[in-house]
Structure 1
């Protein structure tokens, strides 16, 4: 895949996923619930609901438990896809993009991981406890392969999601019924360590606004997350994470497999 295509896709995905309704769509290509009138059941009070481990009616109760719940739930499915897209808009009108994508077929022990920062694109394909790597930088392509155990937990996206559990204080849960079960929406009230989330040397004084939203499926995995940052100098950052294609994702050998296997 051409690096420029990947970067462009990242920007488009952030724009498309910016609305909550998109994040609340079904797994994979399932659309958001329609507006067809149905019998509305009596709402269950928050205090009577059973929340996933680590969560409660008033936010994230235990960040470590919530992170573990996400990993254990996602790795319990036969397959899934995790995607994390970032768009950074400079005060001078320039844009940068970053995309991270994993397609995981746990039933067959295969996965394809992609990381693109706008300069270098790195692909890692996992099969039979071995990882095959392609790195694309400009017109240069390099390949290698090495033994590596298929690690399910590291492909669940927690390197991007854990900071949103640890360093954000959330308000009351908002239950949302979808075609695929109940999703709990949590909206940030305070970001305690913005620099840790952004992996940058930035102080709270430099940030004009920092808004975070989590969408937690009743089964326990983080179905979607979004944060939007605006700094005092007018630059901005939008990031969107999604888990989808549950039980439907297929992973096949990439066309560069033979070069890496040599």
Structure 2
């Protein structure tokens, strides 16, 4: 479970109790354009439509996406906790920076920068630094986090708990307290607890997602907590890292 960001990014959101009722603080919008894709008054109907809309709404947009993950399991009769944090900063001109860190028995720091078709990667582990050059499209397709969002949205039975209007936009809060049996694939063989909350606007942008899962893998109890936060206010500032010149020299 202790893998570098380059692996975890593709394959790898506490507990929130209470329910505000089907319409929550405000009525379900009459205007169909204010309905988040894949969401109806009764809840989340299509996780694929919602996660795809989230991805499409961020094309050519400036944003910052923060994802934190923490996993606790038993190894050698003791609890072990590993985690990862990553921050994706996307400028409106397509330049991006990803800063990621895993922690636990091993610590890996990884930074990815690109301002065109080429991405440069700096990986630091055990006082060893490596540089790599890759196709930026390999990362661009995942920068919005939509596949991770789909994985966890598809795993829960989400109901609408509130509908709010703020700054001329509609925000729908979805909450799940039941595992649907899909979505999270082989991460868990059994799931005893699945609790999640998502805040999504009419375009399908998922601004917040928190998930708490308790289950087991190969007979070992596993607890997973994930939080995702999307910030689309203002213009994201991406600075070219000082190490890029060295990375270019080593991988020209």
Using the size of structure 1 for normalisation, the TM-score is 0.72
Q: Which residue of 2 aligns with 1:213?
A: 197
Deviation at 1:83, TM superposition (A): 1.3
Q: What are the equivalent positions in structure 2 for 1:31-180 lying under 5 Å apart? A: 45-46=27-28, 48=30, 50-77=34-61, 79-90=62-73, 92=78, 94-105=80-91, 107-118=92-103, 119=106, 120-149=108-137, 152-178=140-166
How has the CA–CA distance of structure 1 residues 211 and 60 changed in structure 2, closer, same or farther, with 3 Å as cutoff? same
Q: Shift in Å at residue 237 of structure 1?
A: 2.4
SS of alignment partner, residue 66 of structure 1: helix
- How many Å separate the matches in 2 of 1:255 and 1:230? 42
Q: Secondary structure of the residue that 2:187 maps to in structure 1?
A: coil
Equivalence for 2:246 = 259
Using the TM superposition, give the Cα deviation of residue 84 of structure 1 relative to its aligned residue in structure 2, in angstroms: 1.0
Moved more, 67-76 or 250-259: 67-76
Structure 2's unaligned 5+ residue stretches are 1-12, 17-24
Is 1:247 aligned to residue 234 of structure 2? yes
- Judging by fraction of residues, say which structure has more strand: 2
Deviations 1:85-139 (A, max 9, x none): 012234645432111221111x322111233222322221112211111111110
Would you tell me which structure has more helix in proportion to its own residues? 1
Deviations 1:120-168 (A, max 9, x none): 2222111221111111111000112244448644210113101123222
- Structure 1's unaligned 5+ residue stretches are 1-13, 21-42
State the match for 1:188 in structure 2: 176
Q: Does 1:227 align with 2:211?
A: yes
Instruction: Give, in angstroms, the shift of residue 250 of structure 1.
Output: 0.8
Answer yes or no: is the 8 Å Cα contact 1:58–1:173 preserved in 2: no
Provide the alpha-carbon RMSD of the alignment. 2.9
Aligned residues of 1:86 and 1:237 also touching (Cα < 8 A): yes
Structure 1 Cα separation of the partners of residues 130 and 124 of structure 2:
7
Q: Partners of 1:64 and 1:147 in 2: how far apart?
A: 26
